[in-house]
Structure 1
Amino acid sequence: MSRIAKVQLVKYSHLAHERGLTAAFGGNLSVKNENLIFIKATGAVMDDLLEGGVAVIDMDGRQLSGVRPSSEYRLHLAIYKRRPDVGAIAHLHPSYSIVAATLLEERGSLPIVTPEAELYLREIPIAPFRPAGSEELAEVTADVLGGYDAVLMARHGIVTVGRSLREAFYKAELVEESAKLWYMMRSGNAGNERKNQMLT
């Protein structure tokens, strides 16, 4: 199973970068197998991640591999402990989602635009800002994800969960699509308001 988990992490890490869901050193994916967590190593880049760049830790956060886990390992551990039904986590930094989380932080959630998003996500709440890699970020995000499968993190990115990494990844795509559609609709409405003002 350890080889399968690493192969999955490499595949979906490359796909996340290819589809614009993260850039540079940002983002990390993880897979849980019994008491082991497979996660991108610190300093690794998702675009060219290899199996050697996958770290292994246990549910207490102890490093079991030759490479150190991402600084966001606390976030992944907190979610796995809070949600025993979750088998994989995607934490990514897609552009529209970050913009939406910043603009909608006070509202507390991203409006659902499509029937697909409503079916698979129900709601996309926004977790308040906490410093990246901190225990505070891990706890507040895990709290919000207690009843949902996706969350926007204010000024940071998104987290989605699933029984498999495939499921978590495609939920992340769905969140970014929702954020992009919302932003396009918002921009269109703003344009219409300006036109109406010019005509009056």
Structure 2
Amino acid sequence: MNKTLDEKFDDAIWVAHSLFNRGKASGSIANLSFKHEDKIYITATGTCFGTLKRDEFAVIDLEGNPFNELKPSKELPMHLAIFKAKPDVEAVVHVHSTYSVLWSFVPGLDEEDCIPDHTPYLKMKLGTVGLVPYEKPGSKELFHEFDKRVNTSDGWLLAQHGPVAPGKSILEAFFALEELEESAQIAWELRNRL
């Protein structure tokens, strides 16, 4: 069933509030986007997941051309790269969650699948998680490194930065992100106990 724009907004705002309220996103450093018809709705620069409202989304097309006056998140090029490379993706969520960031510091990770699947759910909900080398957030260098890896994995971990999860809906992207963070926590805890 195709959701209306209002329903997609409701889902996106619920996802943002849920992530913020449970400490998976903080301040104004997370972003999410979703597609509706021929437009992309992405959180505007400086928005906070904890207080996110409908009028805080920049609206653009796949080429980045604006339909309103809000400035999109500085990580818009990463969202656009995913939408262009993976036509079945309808939404993307990016946060700076603790265990994913911690795990990105572990040396010797497989760049095409960097988080161990100690439980079956990471592969079921997302798939492989590629590691993108550290570059300054919002920089051309980061987007260049991301573009080189957008087709080699199903989700991504930006080193020293945070996870990026796509989905066929905002809820699917949220579930994938939750599993990615949970898997990173399990991997981190096991690494420190074994």
TM-score w.r.t. structure 2 length? 0.90
Q: For 1:110, what is the secondary structure of its paired residue? A: coil
Render the CA deviation track for 1:11-55: whole Å, top value 9, x for unaligned.
111111122221111111100123211011111111001111111
Render the CA deviation track for 1:37-78: whole Å, top value 9, x for unaligned.
101111111100111111111111122113211111111111
Q: Is the 8 A contact 2:133 2:159 kept in 1?
A: yes
How far apart are residue 147 of structure 1 and its match? Answer: 4.0
| Cα distance change, pair 107–47 in 1 and its aligned pair in 2 (3 A) | same
Whichever residue aligns with residue 145 of structure 1, its letter is: V
| Cα distance change, pair 20–127 in 1 and its aligned pair in 2 (3 A) | same
1:60 alignment partner in structure 2: 63
Structure 1 or 2, whichever has the larger Rg, is 1
> Aligned pair count?
189
Task: Provide the alpha-carbon RMSD of the alignment.
Answer: 1.7
1:154 is aligned to 2:123: no
Q: For 1:161, what is the secondary structure of its paired residue? A: strand
How far apart are residue 139 of structure 1 and its match? Answer: 3.8
Render the CA deviation track for 1:58-114: whole Å, top value 9, x for unaligned.
111122113211111111111111111100001111100001012246543122210
1:77 is aligned to 2:80: yes
Render the CA deviation track for 1:144-169: whole Å, top value 9, x for unaligned.
23143211110110101110000000
My pick for the range that moved more, 99-108 or 126-135, is 99-108
Aligned ranges 1:35-184 → 2 under 5 Å: 35-104=38-107, 106-108=109-111, 109-184=114-189
Structure 1: runs of 5+ lacking an equivalent: 190-200
2:190 alignment partner in structure 1: 185
How far apart are residue 143 of structure 1 and its match? Answer: 3.7
Whichever residue aligns with residue 55 of structure 1, its letter is: A
Q: Tell me, in whole angstroms, the C-alpha distance in 1 between the residues paired with 2:153 and 2:37.
A: 22
Q: Tell me, in whole angstroms, the C-alpha distance in 1 between the residues paired with 2:108 and 2:132.
A: 8
* Fraction of identical pairs, as percent: 32
Q: Tell me, in whole angstroms, the C-alpha distance in 2 between the residues paired with 1:134 and 1:80.
A: 19
How far apart are residue 131 of structure 1 and its match? Answer: 1.9
1:6 is aligned to 2:9: yes
Structure 2: runs of 5+ lacking an equivalent: none
Q: For 2:153, what is the secondary structure of its paired residue? A: coil
Q: For 1:159, what is the secondary structure of its paired residue? A: strand
How far apart are residue 2 of structure 1 and its match? Answer: 3.5
